[in-house]
C-alpha cells in the first residue's frame, strides 16, 4: 500500500481530474459516500452492541485499508481496500491483508488471509487456517489452507482457480446495504464543515446519513457563503434537502448534544495550527466525549509529518481518502487518527505506482511483490546448516554480555545455519553453555572489554562468514573509530551496525570511508539523533522524511526503530512497519532485532529484504510474546526470541 504526502495527493487529484477527465465533484461524492458508509457501519455495530474499534487491554487490533474495520479484541489486523478484520479473541491471531480481504480471527484461531477478495475462515482453537488469493474462502476448521481465485477450502487444501461453485441464488433484490441502517432512531450526528474541500466531503456524507435515517446537523466553521467550487455545490445540495445547519460563532452549538461527530474541518489543504473557529470547534469536539470520525485526516494534524498542532482532533476512526497519508502512520498523528480506513474515491491506485511514490506500508504483499521476499521462509528438503548461512557477531563486553547473547540467539531463531559470536576472551567462561547452539570465538580482550587491536582477529573470522553484525553490548574503547573503520572497509560481506557501534559512527566522519558491500544501520531515535547531529525530538518530528534523506545521503539501509519503524534504502524507498507491541519497549529488544536481520542476511536475503522482513518478523514475534503474558508490561527481550 502506497503512502503519500499532501503534495503527492494533490498531484494525483489533479491528474485524475485533468488528464482522466473525472469531475472533481465525482471524487467528492465518492469521498462523502465512503465517510457515510463508515459512520453507518459504526452506528450498526453500536446498535448491535458489538462496539468496535477499541481493543481490549491485550489487543493489538489494527486496520489499514479501504473498507477495513478492525474489530474489538486481540491480534486482529487488516490492511488493504475492502479489508475487514473481524473480532479476535485475546488469543486469536487473525490477520487479513489485501483488497477485499476479510479476516475473521476465531477464538484461539491462527487465521491469516492475504490477497484481493480473500476471505479467511474461522479457525478453531487449534486451527491455522490460511487463505491466499482473490476470492479465496478459507473454510471453518483446523489446518485449512486455500490458495487461488475463488477457491474454497474446508478442512483440506485447495488451490484451483474458480474452486467449487457456490449455488447460484434464485431471484433476489437487495438495497444498498452499506448505506442502510435499520435502527437509526437514537443517532444524531454533527458534521463540522470547514470551507475547503474537506468540508465538502463532510457535506456530501451528511446527505447519505440523512438518507439512511440518521439525524444530521451541519456546523459550519465559517460563513457558508465563503465556500466555493465543489464545496459550495455540496452546501447548496444539503440546504436543498433541508438538512439543518448552524454557523459557529453566530448560532448556539452544543457539541455534546449528539451521538457522533464527523470532523470535516481541515484536510490536506490545512497549513499550521488551526485558527479561530476551527481551533475552538476542534477543542469542543474533543471535550464532547463523543465518537469522532475524521474525514481524510484529523483536523490539526500535519498530513506529512504526523505532528499534531494545538489543538488536534482525537478521532476514533479516520476515513482516509484515496491514499494513506504519511502523517497517519507517524506518531503522534497515528495516535490521534484512531482506526485508519483507506477508501477509494475514484483516483486510480496505479497513479501512485507509476509516479514512483517512495513510501509503502510494510505488508506481506509489499514484502512479496515489491521486495520479492519469500515470506513463507521455505526450507529446502535437501538443506543443511551450510545452506542457511553463517553470521559473525562482534558484540558483548563484561557488563553487557547479555546483549551479545540475545543478538546471537535471535540470529539462530531467524533461521540461519550457524552463528559465531566473537567476544572478549575473559567473557568466555561466563557464557559457555548459555546457548549451546552458538560457536564462541574469543578475541584478545584481557579485561573483558574490546580493544583496538582486535580488528584483525575479527576480520580474520569474518572471511568465511556471510555477514557481520557489530555493536550490541560492545561498549566504547580507545581507538574504536579506527577499529570500526577497518571492519567497515575490509569486511567482505554485508554489515549491520547497532548500538555502541552506531555511537562510534556518530563521532566519526564516516562519509569518506569506502565500502563495497551494503551496510544496515539500526538506530533508535536517540542514536539517530547523534548520527544526524540533531535532537531526538527533531528525529521524531518526521521519521519517514529523515530516514529517507539520511539513507540516500549516506548510502546505507537505515532502520529507524521506534513505534512504526521506518526502513529506508539508499535508492530512496522507505517502508513503514506496523507490526509490534508497546510491550516491546524493553532492554535487549533492539539486540534481538539486529540478530534477526543478520540471520536473514546470512540466508541470502539482500540488505533491504533482510532489514524490512526482519523488522516485520520482530514485531510479529513481539505481538505474540505480549499475548502470552497476563500483562504485556512483563514482556522481556528473550520472550521475543522464543516467539519467533
Ligand atoms: N479534488 C480534490 O481536491 C479532492 C479533495 N479531497 C478532500 O479535500 C481535502 C483538501 O481540500 P482543500 O485543498 O480544499 O483543503 P482543506 O483541507 O479543506 O482546507 C483548506 C481550507 O482550510 C483553511 N485553512 C487552512 N489552514 C487553516 C488553519 N490552520 N486554520 C484555519 N483554516 C485553515 C483554508 O482557508 P484559507 O486559509 O485559505 O482562508 C481553506 O479554506 C482533502 O483532505 C480531502 O478531504 C478529496 O475528497 C479528494 C478530492
Ligand atoms: K478532517
Q: For the whole prediction, is pTM greater than 0.90?
A: no
pLDDT of residue 64: 39
Whether 32 is in the pocket of ligand 1, judged by its Cβ within 6 Å, is no
How many domains, the chain?
2
Give the CATH number of the domain where residue 482 resides.
3.40.1190.20
Mean pLDDT of the chain, nearest integer = 84
- Residue 478 scores a pLDDT above 70: yes
| 53 assigned to some structural domain | no
Tell how far the Cα of 282 is from the centroid of ligand 2, in angstroms: 10
| Best probe residue, ligand 1, of 198, 295, 303, 344 (max atoms within 8 Å of C-beta) | 198
pLDDT of residue 348: 96
- Residue 160 scores a pLDDT above 70: no
| 572 assigned to some structural domain | yes
Span 81-104, average pLDDT: 35
**Cβ contact 550:557 at 8 Å:** no
200 marked ligand binding residue: yes
pLDDT of residue 529: 97
Residues 588 and 502 occupy one common structural domain? yes
| Residues 6 or more apart whose Cβ sits within 8 Å of residue 323 | 2, 3, 4, 8, 9, 12, 342, 347, 349, 352, 357
Residues 336 and 370 occupy one common structural domain? no
Span 112-124, average pLDDT: 36
Residue 445: pLDDT band (50, 70, 90) is: confident
| 627 assigned to some structural domain | yes
Atom of ligand 1 nearest to the CA of 6: 43
176 marked ligand binding residue: no
SS3 250: coil
**Cβ contact 145:162 at 8 Å:** no
Residues 576 and 445 occupy one common structural domain? yes
- Residue 85 scores a pLDDT above 80: no
Ligand 1, atom 11: nearest CA belongs to which residue? 197
- Residue 602 scores a pLDDT above 90: yes
pLDDT of residue 574: 98
Atom of ligand 1 nearest to the CA of 196: 18
| Residues 6 or more apart whose Cβ sits within 8 Å of residue 90 | 56, 58, 59, 73, 74, 75, 627
pLDDT in tens, 550-594: 999 999 999 999 999 999 999 999 999 999 999 998 899 999 999
- Residue 89 scores a pLDDT above 70: no
Is the complex ipTM more than 0.90?
yes
What is the C-alpha to C-alpha distance for residues 467 and 390, in angstroms, rounded to an integer?
Answer: 7
What is the C-alpha to C-alpha distance for residues 599 and 409, in angstroms, rounded to an integer?
Answer: 10
Query: Cis omega before residue 467 (within 30°)?
Result: no
Check residue 338 and report its DSSP letter.
-
What is the C-alpha to C-alpha distance for residues 162 and 165, in angstroms, rounded to an integer?
Answer: 7
**Cell numbers standing for residue 492:** 567482505
Residues 352 and 369 occupy one common structural domain? no
What is the C-alpha to C-alpha distance for residues 178 and 209, in angstroms, rounded to an integer?
Answer: 11
Residue 133: pLDDT band (50, 70, 90) is: very low
Residues 485 and 586 occupy one common structural domain? yes
What is the C-alpha to C-alpha distance for residues 396 and 644, in angstroms, rounded to an integer?
Answer: 22
Residues 439 and 467 occupy one common structural domain? yes
What is the C-alpha to C-alpha distance for residues 151 and 156, in angstroms, rounded to an integer?
Answer: 12
| 17 assigned to some structural domain | yes
Residues 501 and 518 occupy one common structural domain? yes
Residues 332 and 370 occupy one common structural domain? no
Residues 329 and 249 occupy one common structural domain? yes
| 314 assigned to some structural domain | yes
pLDDT of residue 166: 63
Residues 443 and 423 occupy one common structural domain? yes
- Residue 119 scores a pLDDT above 80: no
Give the CATH number of the domain where residue 313 resides.
3.40.50.10260
Residue 49: pLDDT band (50, 70, 90) is: low
Atom of ligand 1 nearest to the CA of 265: 18
**Beta-carbon-side half-sphere exposure of residue 550 (alpha carbons within 13 Å):** 26
**Cell numbers standing for residue 606:** 539482500
pLDDT of residue 90: 31
| 225 assigned to some structural domain | yes
pLDDT of residue 167: 65
| Residues 6 or more apart whose Cβ sits within 8 Å of residue 404 | 393, 395, 396, 421, 423, 431, 472, 473, 591
Cα angle: 40, vertex 43, 49; to 5 degrees: 145
Strand partners, 440: 421
Residues 610 and 462 occupy one common structural domain? yes
Distance set, CA 78 to CA 91, 114, 116, 341 (Å): 17, 9, 12, 10
Tell how far the Cα of 268 is from the centroid of ligand 1, in angstroms: 6
| 393 assigned to some structural domain | yes
| 637 assigned to some structural domain | yes
Residues 593 and 525 occupy one common structural domain? yes
Strand partners, 245: 218
Ligand 1, atom 45: nearest CA belongs to which residue? 198
Q: Which has the higher per-residue pLDDT, 113 or 454?
A: 454
Q: Which domain holds residue 496?
A: 365-374+386-642
Q: Which has the higher per-residue pLDDT, 85 or 2?
A: 2
pLDDT of residue 534: 96
273 marked ligand binding residue: yes
Span 334-344, average pLDDT: 96
Strand partners, 213: none
Residue 386: pLDDT band (50, 70, 90) is: confident
590 marked ligand binding residue: yes
Q: Cell 485499508: give the residue.
A: 65
SS3 247: strand
pLDDT of residue 97: 39
**Cβ contact 292:38 at 8 Å:** no
pLDDT in tens, 200-231: 999 999 999 999 999 999 999 999 999 999 99
- Closest by Cα among 573, 368, 596 to 469: 596
Q: Which has the higher per-residue pLDDT, 480 or 101?
A: 480
Amino acid at each position: 500500500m502506497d503512502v503519500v504526502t499532501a503534495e503527492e495527493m494533490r498531484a494525483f487529484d489533479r491528474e485524475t481530474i485533468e488528464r482522466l477527465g473525472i469531475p472533481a465533484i465525482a471524487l467528492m461524492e465518492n469521498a462523502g459516500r465512503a465517510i457515510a458508509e463508515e459512520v453507518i457501519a459504526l452506528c450498526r455495530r453500536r446498535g448491535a452492541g458489538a462496539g468496535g474499534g477499541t481493543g481490549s487491554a491485550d489487543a493489538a487490533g489494527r486496520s489499514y485499508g479501504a473498507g477495513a474495520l478492525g474489530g474489538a479484541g486481540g491480534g486482529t489486523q487488516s490492511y488493504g481496500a475492502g479489508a475487514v478484520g473481524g473480532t479476535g479473541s485475546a488469543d486469536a491471531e487473525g490477520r487479513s491483508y489485501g483488497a477485499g480481504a476479510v479476516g475473521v480471527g476465531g477464538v484461539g484461531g491462527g487465521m491469516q488471509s492475504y490477497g484481493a477478495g480473500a476471505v479467511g475462515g474461522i479457525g478453531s482453537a487449534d486451527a491455522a487456517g490460511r487463505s491466499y488469493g482473490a476470492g479465496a474462502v478459507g473454510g471453518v476448521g483446523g489446518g485449512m489452507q486455500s490458495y487461488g481465485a475463488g477457491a474454497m477450502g474446508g478442512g483440506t487444501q485447495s488451490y484451483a482457480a474458480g474452486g467449487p461453485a457456490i449455488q447460484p441464488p434464485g431471484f433476489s433484490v437487495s438495497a444498498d446495504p452499506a448505506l442502510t441502517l435499520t435502527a437509526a432512531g437514537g443517532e444524531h450526528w454533527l458534521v463540522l464543515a470547514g470551507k475547503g474541500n474537506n468540508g465538502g466531503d463532510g457535506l456530501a456524507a451528511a446527505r447519505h446519513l440523512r438518507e439512511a435515517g440518521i439525524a444530521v446537523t451541519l456546523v459550519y466553521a465559517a460563513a457558508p457563503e465563503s465556500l466555493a467550487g465543489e464545496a459550495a455545490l455540496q452546501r447548496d445540495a444539503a440546504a436543498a434537502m433541508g438538512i439543518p445547519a448552524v454557523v459557529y460563532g453566530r448560532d448556539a452549538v452544543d457539541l455534546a448534544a449528539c451521538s457522533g461527530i464527523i470532523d470535516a474541518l481541515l484536510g490536506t489543504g490545512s497549513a499550521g495550527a488551526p485558527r479561530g473557529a476551527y481551533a475552538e470547534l476542534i477543542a469542543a469536539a474533543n471535550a464532547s466525549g463523543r465518537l469522532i470520525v475524521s474525514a481524510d485526516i484529523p483536523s490539526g494534524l500535519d498530513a506529512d509529518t504526523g505532528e499534531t498542532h494545538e489543538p488536534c482532533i482525537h478521532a476514533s476512526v479516520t476515513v482516509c481518502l484515496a491514499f494513506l497519508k504519511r502523517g497517519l502512520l507517524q506518531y503522534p498523528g497515528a495516535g490521534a487518527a484512531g482506526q485508519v480506513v483507506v477508501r477509494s474515491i475514484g483516483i486510480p491506485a496505479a497513479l501512485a505506482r507509476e509516479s514512483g511514490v517512495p513510501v509503502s506500508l510494510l505488508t506481506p504483499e509489499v514484502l512479496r511483490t515489491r521486495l520479492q521476499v519469500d515470506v513463507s521462509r521455505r526450507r529446502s528438503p535437501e538443506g543443511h546448516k551450510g545452506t542457511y548461512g553463517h553470521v559473525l557477531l562482534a558484540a558483548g563486553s563484561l557488563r553487557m554480555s547479555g546483549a551479545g547473547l540475545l543478538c546471537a540467539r535471535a540470529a539462530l531463531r531467524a533461521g540461519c545455519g550457524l552463528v559465531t559470536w566473537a567476544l572478549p576472551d575473559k567473557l568466555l567462561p561466563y557464557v559457555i553453555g548459555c546457548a549451546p547452539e552458538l560457536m564462541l570465538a574469543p578475541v584478545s580482550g584481557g579485561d573483558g572489554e574490546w580493544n583496538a587491536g582486535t580488528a584483525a582477529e575479527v576480520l580474520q573470522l569474518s572471511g568465511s562468514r556471510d555477514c557481520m553484525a557489530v555493536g550490541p553490548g560492545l561498549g566504547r574503547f580507545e581507538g574504536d573509530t579506527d577499529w570500526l573503520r577497518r571492519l567497515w572497509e575490509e569486511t567482505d560481506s554485508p554489515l549491520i551496525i547497532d548500538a555502541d557501534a552506531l555511537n562510534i559512527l556518530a563521532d566519526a566522519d564516516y562519509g569518506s570511508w569506502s565500502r563495497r558491500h551494503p551496510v544496515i544501520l539500526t538506530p533508535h531515535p536517540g542514536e539517530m539523533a547523534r548520527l544526524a547531529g540533531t535532537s531526538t525530538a527533531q528525529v521524531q518530528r518526521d521519521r519517514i522524511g529523515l530516514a529517507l534523506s539520511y539513507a540516500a545521503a549516506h548510502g546505507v539501509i537505515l532502520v529507524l526503530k521506534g513505534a512504526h519503524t521506518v526502513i529506508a534504502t539508499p535508492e530512496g524507498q522507505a517502508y513503514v512497519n506496523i507490526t509490534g507491541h508497546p510491550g516491546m519497549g524493553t532492554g535487549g529488544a533492539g539486540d534481538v532485532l539486529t540478530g534477526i536481520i543478520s540471520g536473514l542476511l546470512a540466508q541470502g536475503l539482500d540488505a533491504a529484504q533482510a532489514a524490512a522482513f526482519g523488522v516485520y518478523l520482530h514485531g510479529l514475534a513481539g505481538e505474540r510474546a505480549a499475548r502470552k503474558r497476563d500483562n504485556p508490561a512483563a514482556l522481556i527481550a528473550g520472550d521475543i526470541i522464543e516467539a519467533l
